[in-house]
Structure formats: structure tokens, C-alpha cells
Amino acid sequence: MKTTMTNELPAEIMENGIHYTLVGDYYFPTCMLADRSPNGKWASLYERYLQEKHLHEYVRLIWADELAAVLESVQKECEERVAVLVREMAEAEGVNEEMKENEQMEWVRRMEMICGRVEEVVCEEIMG
């Protein structure tokens, strides 16, 4: 009978009476992770970006207890940036209240296209 070894680490462990959770390749005390969940699309995207591309910075932010504040700041800045860009692009492309009243489906289609482009721009800005 042939057995294979797996190098998968358990998601959670208990050692010396302390519960640890696996984040990336590192175990962190679970109490440190309790209130770090991002609130919002942009915070989630930025957290995943840090985990995948800048793991050392991500771990540093966790250990310094700064991750939640950074994610909150990113979420707020991105929401503000999206609102400004959508307004500017809609104005530049003539998508206005008059179109909304007279050509509702066209207004919806064009606003969805603008929102999609804006999200791509903001995503590129924060994950540059």
C-alpha cells in the first residue's frame, strides 16, 4: 500500500493553550484576528492584494494592529474616488438627468458602463 504525504498545514492549531489561525504561511493568535474583517468591496480587494502581492506588509500591519485602520481608510478613499469619477465621466459623456427622464434604458446602460470603467480605474489606482 502506497501512502502519499501532503504538505498542507491545518487551518487552525492549539499550542500551549493558545489557539492559532493560519494566514498565508504563518500562524497568528486567533485573538489578533478577531476584528480585522474588512467592511466593503474595496477593503476586501485591498486586503487580498496585500495577502497575494505584499505578504510582509500585510503581516506587519496585522502585528502593528494597523490593518483595520488601513482597510477602513482604503474603503473610504475608494468610495469617494468612485463617486467623483462617475460624476465626472457622466458629465463628460452627456449622461444627465434629462436623459434619465427621457431615455431611461439608455441612461441605465451608459451609467453601468461608466461604473464599470470607473471601478477598473480605481482598482488599478489602489493596486497599481
Q: What is the DSSP code string of 25-88? A: TEEEEHHHHTT----SHHHHHHHHHHHHH-HHHHHHHHHTT-HHHHHHHHHHHHHHHHHHHHHH
Residue range 120-126: mean pLDDT, rounded: 94
What digits encode the pLDDT tens for the residues 32-50? 544 556 689 999 999 999 9
Return the C-alpha cell found at 22: 493560519
The more confidently predicted of residues 78 and 64 is 78
What digits encode the pLDDT tens for the residues 88-114? 999 999 999 999 999 999 999 999 999
Residue range 70-93: mean pLDDT, rounded: 96
